[in-house]
Structure 1
Amino acid sequence: MAILRFHAIKESLAYNSITIDETERRSDLFGRNVFNESSMRQFLTKDAFKGVMNAIQHSKKIDRNIADQVASSMKDWALSKGATHYSHWFQPLTGVTAEKHDAFFETIGDGVAIEKFGGDQLVQQEPDASSFPNGGIRNTFEARGYTAWDPTSPAFIYENTLCIPTIFVAYTGEALDYKTPLLRALSAIDIAATDVCKYFDKNVKKVTSSLGWEQEYFLVDKLLASCRPDIMLTGRTLLGHSPAKGQQLDDHYFGSIPRRALNFMRDLEKECMLLGIPAKTRHNEVAPNQFELAPIYEEANLAVDHNSLLMDVMGHVASRHNFKLLLHEKPFANINGSGKHNNWSLSTDTGVNLLGPGKTPMSNLQFLTFFVNTIKAVHEHEALLRASIATASNEHRLGANEAPPAIMSVFIGEQLTKVLEELEGVTKGKLSPKEKTDLKLNVVGKIPYVLLDNTDRNRTSSFAFTGNKFEFRAVGSTANCGNPMTILNTIVAKQLKDFKIEVDALILKKGLKKDEAIFNVIREYIKSSRNILFEGNGYGEAWEREAEKRGLSNHKSTPEALKAKISKKTLALFEEMKIMGKVEAQARYEIEVETYIMHIQIESRVLGDIARNHVVPTAVKYQNILIENVKGLKEIFEDGYKALAKEQMLLIQEISGHIESINANVTKMTNERKKLNGLADMEIKAHGYNKNVKSLFDDIRYHCDKLELLVDDEIWPLTKYRELLFTR
């Protein structure tokens, strides 16, 4: 172990000396490898450019003649950038991106070859649908599936390959990816929000959902990580004793970025600029060797694509710097895990952020309309929102006394809480002249234009308003943002749709003025959604008891949380908003349940392997050294050896006790796994893996970690936390 650590530190010092060329301005690098609007204007014909822009801005279909022109121009652009291959780039339900590379190269006979890429290759390709998670939609012998070009997300070049963002659907039309439902949800929010916006501005023709994600991650030395089978196979440490120093001094957070990590960040950010990913912020996070990258906000579909691409690029760049990138939500015990806060808002084509208070009472009323409807949507569908971020890895954060809890709640701050309380007092029906004046001038009119700093942040809140946006803090660091963004945009779209129906009914049937009708509906929403608002400490047991009284769900386990995805309420929601059919929703539920089982199954096998094949043999080896020591003392001192060997003998007994406990629990875990693997019902199996298999992890770990403290460091087979977290 000491030799390995020496070599790792020697390697890290070498990588500390790397310098990254940053002579070019980022604005000059930005989007250089992206077939963006600027590139399209240069390479496309006038008709082709118009066709693509109509598809992007107005969802118009691109006919095959235009597609051929676009493909030809896209090929010329890609070749000019040194690309040799093209690929449909998509996001199947594996959680990672997928691609199949085809060369532009074609032979045309007589030893002659050309570069070829036509509209057919651009618009549609046919990967094997049965080889990706499909939830039983496709049989193995029914392999056909299609990827189809998404022109709203620009093509890009990475590793000399033209990557074309696409959706992925089964031969029978069901979505098999994250992008397709997201695009449907973004269309739904556009329609519903635009209809509501017309109460305030008739000129609004489109509403766009924006997303700004914050990607947290760990960097550990690749050589040290390679000596940990758990890191290599599961992305986290399944055992390992906490070091004497962790994050308790708060000296890493926002501290000076270590040189080696900074070199990685510079290299990564250069790649981001070339790929059009607007990386803006970098800093040390709370835990040792933990960092964060955050971009400028983008349209949600593009932001999701960029985050998916970033996670892939981060791994490549980390390897170049001899790092192992860890995106797992909880790679190390007893220090902070990683999340991916999703900052969400809505904006109009007239340039208005609908969650940003304006300068007048009328624009404030528009803000309140979207603000309160979002709160109402979260209240109505809190269990579904929780399900959208339920995974085996995120389970380690949610409900585990680490931001955020498993209970969905909304934090809005003291000032807005008072505003909503005053709005609750609005008279039902027509307002008196005094009420109209009070509302406009005293309540609605006094909301400040900028709310960014007029209230403290609540790190324990899962869904917090932060000035001009909502921050969904519960999203896991490994997640595809498309999943939670599909749910969030869908539930808000549904709520806005219902809001407009209620307001129109009051105007048409009750004869109320528009403002009065809006105030009346908002007031009822505030009353009915009060239970989701929480300003206190989300970590405390008191909040769990209070949330239960309020009727809020508290699903700490993933199998428990995922049930919300196939409830009657959810299926009806998806059907009404045209997001997913019942078959698609059921398939996704089965995929996520099975994925959970497989993650716990893999971790169980790896933990059993490490415990029995690494930890126990090393403990026995050290125990034998102690036994030889005792024998030597007996030879020398005969009857007096017992007093001299007292501590060694106690240590031998203690090691034996830990070995016995490890073997007993590993055997029990293996037997439980075998029993569960024989079950056909995936739901019962998932709950069994959670309660009967995963529940044994901590006990096995406890005894392994105790042995780590007892066994000679020179023969301990696994890299320790102090080396993983503090080798820089």
Structure 2
Amino acid sequence: MDRVASLFGCKVFNDDTMQEKLPNDTYKILKKTIEEGEALDITIANAVAHAMKEWALENGCTHYTHWFQPMTSLTAEKHDAFIEPAGDNVVIRLSGKDLLQDEPDASSFPSGGLRATNEARGYTVWDPTSYAFIKDNTLCIPAIFCSYNGEVLDKKAPLLKSIEAISDQVVRLLKLLGKECSGADPSVGAEQEYFIISEEMYRNRPDLIYTGRTLFGAPTPKGQEMDDHYFAPIKGPIMKYMQDLDETLWELGITAKTRHNEVAPAQHELAPVYTSTNIACDQNQVMMEIMKKVAKKHGLVCLLHEKPFEGINGSGKHNNWSLTTKEGENLLSPGNDPKQNMQFLLVLAAVVKAVDEHQDLLRISVASAGNDHRLGANEAPPAIISIFLGDDLKGVVDAIISDNDYKSEGKTKFNLGATVLPDLTKDTTDRNRTSPFAFTGNKFEFRMVGSQDSVACSNMMLNTIVADAFCEFADVLEKDNSDEAIKKLIKDTFTKHQRIIFNGDGYSDEWVVEAEKRKLLNLKTCAEAIPYYKREENISLFEKHKVLTKEEVESRTEVLLEDYSNVISIEAKACLDMAKASILPSCVSYVKEVAETLAVKKDVCPSADSTVEEDTVMKVSSLNSSLYKAIATLEEGLKKAENIEDVQERAMSFRKDVFENMEEVRKYADELETIVDRDFWPYPTYGEILFSVK
């Protein structure tokens, strides 16, 4: 483990490296910039840039890049060499100006109408609160991305603004409780689920290559029914991959802590230790890229789609969110007696209020075409937002609402029956995997985030809506912050927003009915959810806390809707290509083979039983005909959707006229797969793919 300790963070320009490489005065000023958000003087920027460049050269770098996160789920980078002309030679240099700002083309990234094609100028600006790192012999400088006119075009800038917003409101609220604090920092631990399959299988599935998921595939005889993959011993090739992955991530300062097999065959999970939200979001983006690169080294492919295989569990990303003051106090820690912990109850009430009032924004933060397959599919939280508090904390809330006494049992112990085993300490709350937003002791686990999504949007939403609740509480308590006023505010809030609290089975049909009675939103699809983004109340919320402008909210709405339509369009075209060019011709060839066998059989031995051949010809021919008609219907639907100009109507059409027709094509193709001879079927089956890594 000594080697691991020396390995950790060796490719990160972290605090230890800065102290080593920077003059002491420069280091102190940079730290003040990071901690207090003060502007960085160009002289200091020059010193930091020089030290960063020298460190990068020592580690084999030849280029640097402003590494940023446009309005996609990916990252972007434009590499520049450390060279500048000097007569007939070059000098190796990184200036403070180069560190602080760069200029990528802004016209080719999603902007949702903020930028026209001919308006190409955009800027990236260094984010000093996230460490620079080395990837592929390139110095990566975390940066925000904006347009020529200053409109935000990325996911990092709104996240940073939301962190400032919640920090400011924490300071206000705690001051009214008689406690001084210099600010707060939300923290995140993003557990990452993924699939690993062999590269050979992947290369033979065009749908995986083009879309990240299988558009066709009959169920395999064995899936996850036996519960024998979850936490099972890790196979040799997968273990080698995981070991390589861990070491690569450790070099980048990412605390990859937990690895295990997940529920579905070929599915796994990697969980890092939590860290500050901005860094956690950056690291998760790097993690997803590294997972794919390392897999390729091992002849494997890492799939991050939310539902790569029909009929077995898909992949999500559990976003463990907490809130800690700069002085180190976790504001979501209940203490030994949560009913007497007025500060905790006030914070909890604010979170409950925020989630109830802004269900739409939390749903939008996880809205994607891929996640539509997963949410509400009895393997992930439903599309209905609710909060799980656990029996103990729910009892506290109920007691506050009803003015009754409540005595918490606290952490109890129970005996397992064997004298050799110690008594087991039981937590005060169970875990509820069916809940979208579950309290788990000193944090909330937001379980709706999609596997391939950036967690920046979810945390930007969480920070902003909770900041707003804190702000409203502070407005009230600034008029009267007596204990009686605080207790009344807590009670009134829990009473008004208790509908959002649900400790039961979120997978059940009964919950859907109950949620409707409670008037909770049930936005089942991405296309339904996204238009809520630009509701007047939401625009006012973001403008109030200076996280997004009205124009930026509207642009993000358009980007999300366009992305949804584009994903479904690509899937539909891949579906048509596979069905028309491979599946249908293969099935026709198989019918011909069986029909010829039938003809020979009747010619040679007319009295022989030909039931098998006759039924096969009839059944496959009938399914071929149905498949052919479904293909034609899909083509019509795709043409219709692509001709709609309004972005919202277009997205709804892609859902109804394209996605649903794709499912019809799949239905007939998957049934054909169960009948047609394997020698004729053009693609690897689910069984071959899922169990390809031995």
TM-score bucket of the superposed structures, by smaller chain = over 0.9
Query: What are the residue-to-residue correspondences of 1:280-291 with 2, within 5 Å?
Result: 280-291=257-268
Distance 2:670 2:396 in 1: 52
Query: What are the residue-to-residue correspondences of 1:374-389 with 2, within 5 Å?
Result: 374-389=351-366
Query: What are the residue-to-residue correspondences of 1:537-548 with 2, within 5 Å?
Result: 537-548=505-516
Q: Which residue identity lines up with residue 584 of structure 2 in the other structure?
A: V
Give the match for residue 674 of structure 2: 709
The answer to whether the aligner puts 1:55 opposite 2:33 as a matched pair is yes
Deviation of 1:539 after TM superposition, in Å, equals 1.4
Aligned pair partner of 2:333 in 345, 349, 356: 356
Give the match for residue 210 of structure 2: 233
Query: What are the residue-to-residue correspondences of 1:251-650 with 2, within 5 Å?
Result: 251-359=228-336, 364-426=341-403, 453-507=427-481, 513=482, 515-637=483-605, 639-640=606-607, 643-650=608-615
Deviation of 1:64 after TM superposition, in Å, equals 0.9
Aligned-partner SS, 1:684: helix
Deviation of 1:506 after TM superposition, in Å, equals 2.9
Distance 2:2 2:609 in 1: 70
Aligned-partner SS, 1:474: strand
Q: How many positions carry a matched residue from both structures?
A: 682
Distance change >3 Å, CA 60–CA 447, structure 1 → 2: farther
Give the match for residue 16 of structure 2: 38
Distance change >3 Å, CA 356–CA 132, structure 1 → 2: same
Confirm or deny: 8 A CA contact 2:176 2:477 kept in the other structure. Answer: no
Aligned-partner SS, 1:345: strand
Deviation of 1:50 after TM superposition, in Å, equals 1.8
Confirm or deny: 8 A CA contact 1:212 1:343 kept in the other structure. Answer: yes
Give the match for residue 199 of structure 2: 222
Give the match for residue 171 of structure 2: 194
Q: Which residue identity lines up with residue 461 of structure 1 in the other structure?
A: S
Aligned-partner SS, 1:397: coil
Distance change >3 Å, CA 34–CA 233, structure 1 → 2: same
Q: Which residue identity lines up with residue 484 of structure 1 in the other structure?
A: S
Give the match for residue 166 of structure 1: 143
TM-score (norm. length: structure 1):
0.92
The answer to whether the aligner puts 1:727 opposite 2:692 as a matched pair is yes
Deviation of 1:359 after TM superposition, in Å, equals 4.4
Q: Deviations over 1:595-637 (max 9, x none)?
A: 0000001101101111111111111111111111012112212
Deviation of 1:452 after TM superposition, in Å, equals 8.1
Deviation of 1:401 after TM superposition, in Å, equals 2.7
Q: Deviations over 1:361-402 (max 9, x none)?
A: 798221111112111110111111111111000000112233
Structure 2 segments unaligned to the other structure (5+ residues): 414-424
Distance 1:234 1:684 in 2: 23
The answer to whether the aligner puts 1:689 opposite 2:657 as a matched pair is no
Aligned-partner SS, 1:454: coil
Deviation of 1:47 after TM superposition, in Å, equals 2.7
Distance 1:447 1:172 in 2: 55
Deviation of 1:350 after TM superposition, in Å, equals 2.1
Deviation of 1:24 after TM superposition, in Å, equals 5.4
Give the match for residue 75 of structure 1: 53
Deviation of 1:421 after TM superposition, in Å, equals 1.2
Confirm or deny: 8 A CA contact 1:359 1:449 kept in the other structure. Answer: no
Deviation of 1:199 after TM superposition, in Å, equals 3.8
Distance 2:259 2:188 in 1: 18
Distance change >3 Å, CA 456–CA 25, structure 1 → 2: same
Distance 1:699 1:453 in 2: 47
Confirm or deny: 8 A CA contact 2:193 2:269 kept in the other structure. Answer: yes
Deviation of 1:646 after TM superposition, in Å, equals 1.9
The answer to whether the aligner puts 1:136 opposite 2:110 as a matched pair is no
Distance 1:499 1:449 in 2: 34
Confirm or deny: 8 A CA contact 2:338 2:344 kept in the other structure. Answer: no
Deviation of 1:360 after TM superposition, in Å, equals 6.7
Q: Which residue identity lines up with residue 697 of structure 1 in the other structure?
A: M
Deviates more, 1:46-55 or 1:385-394: 46-55
Q: Which residue identity lines up with residue 469 of structure 1 in the other structure?
A: K
Confirm or deny: 8 A CA contact 1:358 1:449 kept in the other structure. Answer: no
Deviation of 1:584 after TM superposition, in Å, equals 0.3
Q: Which residue identity lines up with residue 462 of structure 2 in the other structure?
A: L
Give the match for residue 248 of structure 1: 225
Confirm or deny: 8 A CA contact 1:217 1:326 kept in the other structure. Answer: yes
Aligned pair partner of 2:637 in 663, 669, 672: 672
Confirm or deny: 8 A CA contact 2:176 2:474 kept in the other structure. Answer: no
Distance 1:705 1:528 in 2: 49
Deviation of 1:36 after TM superposition, in Å, equals 0.6
TM-score (norm. length: structure 2):
0.96
Distance 2:357 2:85 in 1: 59
Confirm or deny: 8 A CA contact 2:434 2:507 kept in the other structure. Answer: yes
Distance 1:592 1:447 in 2: 45
Structure 1 runs of 4+ with >4 Å offset: 359-363, 445-452
Identity of aligned residues (%): 44
Deviation of 1:258 after TM superposition, in Å, equals 0.9
Distance 2:11 2:523 in 1: 43
Distance change >3 Å, CA 452–CA 37, structure 1 → 2: farther
Confirm or deny: 8 A CA contact 1:357 1:449 kept in the other structure. Answer: no
Distance 1:544 1:376 in 2: 21
Distance 1:718 1:558 in 2: 30
Deviation of 1:709 after TM superposition, in Å, equals 1.3
Q: Which residue identity lines up with residue 25 of structure 1 in the other structure?
A: R
Distance 1:609 1:222 in 2: 21
Give the match for residue 125 of structure 1: 102
Distance change >3 Å, CA 362–CA 530, structure 1 → 2: closer
Structure 1 segments unaligned to the other structure (5+ residues): 1-22, 427-434, 508-512
Give the match for residue 126 of structure 2: 149
Aligned-partner SS, 1:332: coil
Q: Which residue identity lines up with residue 26 of structure 2 in the other structure?
A: A
Q: Deviations over 1:466-497 (max 9, x none)?
A: 11100000111011000110001100000001
